[in-house]
């Protein structure tokens, strides 16, 4: 179903104006159900990034100079306007990315919450002071880093854009956002949202385009001192290398292959619900998906059989259909990549559910929810991020083996532990190599907490004050309160 008012062109937003690419080039924007182009988006390059940086520079003093309260008020306003657009946003997001409409509907609320939360944080934030007896007093001044470069992926694009926009704006940065080229549609709503909310022209600039062109130009720009990136590990590595040229501050939220460890003493019904939801919601295109399920051997066969049954019952269908639980994968290139992993998996492990295009969907990027059992730790489907509705299951005999298997990949984003023995739950939480752990739960976020990964899953933390730390520089001011004794080098009297 095609949403009403679908734009046929998606333009940059620079200095408060919608503009074409400087060289007039565009790229095709397709939907993942028909895989045909429905719009043309401006194809940004260095000249567009230059123009956006100039606009962001011109707006910087005004925005950074507002009080925290004044910026927070604008952020609250943005949240209200985002929520007022929730219907259109959900339709756009679902149409462009293939997310089931029921899951796209939650995105506006989550995006609005990001703005409200960071408005609250910036107003509540104090700055540190240090006193050395009666002699010296030192205090910290937090200043916005400057012009922020925000680069985002195509999974839940609008929500992830808000996750970066909100703290950057709260901190007083002006910015350039480069949305993912496979899903620019929902980002086309930002100009009207931000303008209506009263964000001054040039504070937020959006340059669309291909990663290697527009994204790279942003990373290479000498006047953009900070890059916040969410995307794949390979791209992240490349961006860190490029950023070294200008010694930029970077935050890297990268890929994952997160383990779910299920012990026999767990509430197995709840664990099963959680495993199914964690890996098949958002089409499995979720960085924190529990895509490796490690199950204690005494319940392994039973758990795997029930997981396969549930997977077979998950409703795959049109993203616009409210009963759909898994929609269409975002792009034919990504779909081919996921299918390739399924073929690899068929050679490496025992396929117990899915593994094919659903019979009732002859077109579009659809895949049956797929479960592989008896997956060896060296298997590629155990080691590599697939980023689709595919899960690898393996047995373990003892706690130590469970931890070893959980840690046996290059990634370290999230981990999920299911046990009724809380001592064991905490023990494993402390030894598992990941940035985030949930015990007896799927991924339920608290915006105050640090978000990020270890190993190949990322560098740095966002969320809560960690985000404010990232988007601001702390300057220390030391003040002498008494006469300071200074050795008098070179003095003759
Ligand atoms: P990607 O790395 O291909 O692209 C991400 C963004 O980077 C896009 O906007 C792209 O245009 C841009 N880009 C590509 N090459 C670039 C370059 N040379 N210079 C600058 N920018 C460039 O990732 P993707 O396929 O869009 O997203 C999926 C990946 O994102 C998965 O690996 C997933 O795990 C990860 N992800 C991580 C988190 C997290 O918080 N850790 C959240 C969501 C997604």
All structural domains of the chain with their residue ranges: 9-254+453-477, 259-439
Which atom of ligand 1 is the closest one to the Cα of 218? 20
Ligand 1: residue whose CA is nearest its atom 22: 211
Ligand 1: residue whose CA is nearest its atom 11: 211
Distance 31 CA to ligand 1 centre (A): 19
Contact in structure between 9 and 183 (CB atoms under 8 Å): no
Residues near ligand 1 (Cβ within 6 A) = 151-155, 160, 178, 180-181, 211-212, 215-216, 219, 230-232, 235, 238-239, 253-256, 287, 385, 387, 413, 453, 458
- Does 181 participate in catalysis according to the annotation? no
Which atom of ligand 1 is the closest one to the Cα of 234? 2
Distance 359 CA to ligand 1 centre (A): 31
Angle formed at CA 144 by CA 232 and CA 228, multiple of 5 degrees: 5
Region of residue 323 (phi > 0: left; psi between -120 and 50: alpha; otherwise: beta): alpha
C-alpha span between 414 and 49 (Å, rounded)? 34
Count Cβ atoms below 10 Å from residue 441 Cβ, excluding itself: 13
- pTM to 2 decimal places: 0.97
Distance 142 CA to ligand 1 centre (A): 29
Q: Which of 231, 329, 436, 445 to mutate to test the pocket of ligand 1 (most atoms within 8 A of CB)?
A: 231
Indicate the Cα dihedral angle 373, 300, 378, 441, nearest 10°. 100
Angle formed at CA 263 by CA 372 and CA 293, multiple of 5 degrees: 25
Angle between helical axes of 190-197 and 68-84 (0-180°, round to 10): 130
- The CA–CA distances, whole Å, from 26 to 142, 282, 328, 332 equal 40, 28, 25, 19
Ligand 1: residue whose CA is nearest its atom 14: 211
Which atom of ligand 1 is the closest one to the Cα of 179? 9
Which neighbouring-strand residues pair with 227? 149, 250
Catalytic residue among 93, 113, 161, 253: 253
pLDDT of residue 433: 98
Distance 234 CA to ligand 1 centre (A): 9
Q: Which of 169, 179, 172, 173 is nearest to 225 (CA)?
A: 173
C-alpha span between 429 and 180 (Å, rounded)? 33
Q: Which of 153, 185, 466 to mutate to test the pocket of ligand 1 (most atoms within 8 A of CB)?
A: 153
Chunked mean pLDDT (size 10), the chain, 493 residues: 90 98 98 97 98 98 98 98 97 98 95 98 95 96 98 98 98 98 98 98 98 98 98 98 98 98 98 98 98 98 98 98 98 98 98 98 97 98 98 98 98 98 98 98 95 97 95 97 95 92
Residue 221 buriedness (CB in 10 A; 0-12 / 13-18 / 19+): buried
Domain 259-439 class, CATH top level: alpha beta
Ligand 1: residue whose CA is nearest its atom 43: 287
E strands present in 246-333? 249-253, 259-262, 292-296
pLDDT of residue 139: 97
C-alpha span between 78 and 81 (Å, rounded)? 5
- The CA–CA distances, whole Å, from 49 to 14, 82, 166, 228 equal 9, 26, 21, 16
Distance 475 CA to ligand 1 centre (A): 32
C-alpha span between 188 and 210 (Å, rounded)? 16
C-alpha span between 268 and 293 (Å, rounded)? 13
Topology adopted by domain 9-254+453-477:
Aldehyde Dehydrogenase; Chain A, domain 1 (3.40.605)
| 3-state SS class at 177 | strand
Q: Which of 235, 434, 470 to mutate to test the pocket of ligand 1 (most atoms within 8 A of CB)?
A: 235
* Chain position carrying tokens 């943005």: 78
For the range 268-272, what are the long-range contacts, defined as Cβ-Cβ under 8 Å and sequence gap of 24 or more? 268/299, 268/303, 268/418, 270/418, 270/440, 271/303, 271/418, 272/303, 272/306, 272/307, 272/310
Contact in structure between 289 and 258 (CB atoms under 8 Å): yes
Ligand 1: residue whose CA is nearest its atom 30: 231
Torsion 351-357-360-366 (CA) sign:
positive
Distance 179 CA to ligand 1 centre (A): 10
Distance 68 CA to ligand 1 centre (A): 31
Which atom of ligand 1 is the closest one to the Cα of 210? 11
Maximum distance among all Cα pairs of the chain, rounded to whole angstroms:
97
Distance 232 CA to ligand 1 centre (A): 4
C-alpha span between 444 and 224 (Å, rounded)? 33
Q: Which of 27, 232, 454 to mutate to test the pocket of ligand 1 (most atoms within 8 A of CB)?
A: 232
């Amino acid at each position: 179903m095609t949403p009403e008012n679908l734009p046929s062109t998606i333009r940059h937003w620079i200095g408060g104006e919608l503009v074409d690419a400087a060289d007039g080039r565009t790229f095709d924007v397709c939907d993942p159900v028909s895989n045909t182009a429905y719009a043309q988006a401006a194809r940004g390059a260095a000249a567009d990034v230059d123009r956006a940086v100039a606009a962001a520079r011109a707006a910087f003093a005004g925005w950074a100079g507002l009080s925290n309260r004044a910026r927070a008020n604008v952020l609250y306003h943005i949240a209200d306007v985002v929520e007022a657009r929730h219907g259109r946003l959900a339709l756009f997001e679902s149409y462009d990315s293939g997310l089931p409409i029921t899951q796209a509907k939650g995105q506006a609320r989550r995006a609005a919450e990001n703005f409200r939360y960071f408005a609250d944080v910036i107003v509540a934030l104090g700055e540190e002071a240090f006193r050395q007896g009666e002699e010296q007093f030192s205090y910290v001044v937090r200043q916005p880093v400057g012009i922020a470069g925000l680069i985002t992926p195509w999974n839940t694009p609008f929500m992830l854009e808000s996750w970066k926009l909100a703290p950057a704006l709260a901190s007083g940065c002006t910015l350039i956002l480069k949305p993912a080229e496979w899903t620019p549609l929902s980002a086309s709503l930002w100009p009207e949202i931000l303008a209506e909310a009263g964000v001054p022209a040039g504070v937020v600039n959006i340059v669309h385009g291909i990663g290697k062109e527009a994204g790279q130009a942003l990373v290479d720009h000498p006047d953009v001192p900070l890059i916040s990136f969410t995307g794949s590990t390979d791209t992240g590595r490349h961006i860190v290398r490029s950023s070294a040229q200008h010694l930029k501050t970077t935050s890297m939220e990268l890929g994952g292959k997160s383990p779910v460890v299920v012990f026999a003493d767990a509430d197995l019904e709840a664990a099963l619900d959680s495993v199914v939801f964690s890996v098949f919601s958002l089409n499995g295109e979720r960085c924190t998906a529990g895509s490796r399920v490690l199950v204690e051997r005494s319940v392994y066969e039973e758990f795997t059989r029930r997981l396969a049954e549930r997977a077979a019952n998950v409703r795959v269908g049109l993203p616009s259909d409210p009963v759909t639980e898994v929609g269409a994968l975002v792009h034919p290139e990504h779909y081919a990549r996921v299918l390739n992993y399924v073929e690899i998996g068929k050679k490496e492990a025992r396929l117990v559910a899915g593994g094919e295009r659903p019979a009732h969907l002859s077109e579009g990027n659809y895949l049956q929810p797929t479960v592989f059992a008896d997956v060896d730790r060296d298997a590629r489907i155990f080691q590599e991020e697939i980023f689709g509705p595919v899960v690898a299951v393996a047995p373990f005999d003892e706690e130590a083996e469970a931890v070893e298997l959980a840690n046996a990949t290059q990634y370290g984003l999230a981990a999920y532990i299911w046990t009724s023995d809380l001592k064991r739950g905490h023990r494993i939480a402390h030894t598992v190599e990941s940035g985030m752990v949930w015990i007896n739960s799927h991924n339920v976020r608290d915006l105050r907490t640090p978000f990020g990964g270890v190993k190949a899953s990322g560098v740095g933390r966002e969320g809560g004050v960690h985000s404010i730390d990232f988007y601001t520089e702390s300057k220390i001011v030391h003040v002498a309160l008494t006469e300071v004794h200074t050795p008098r080098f070179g003095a003759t009297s």
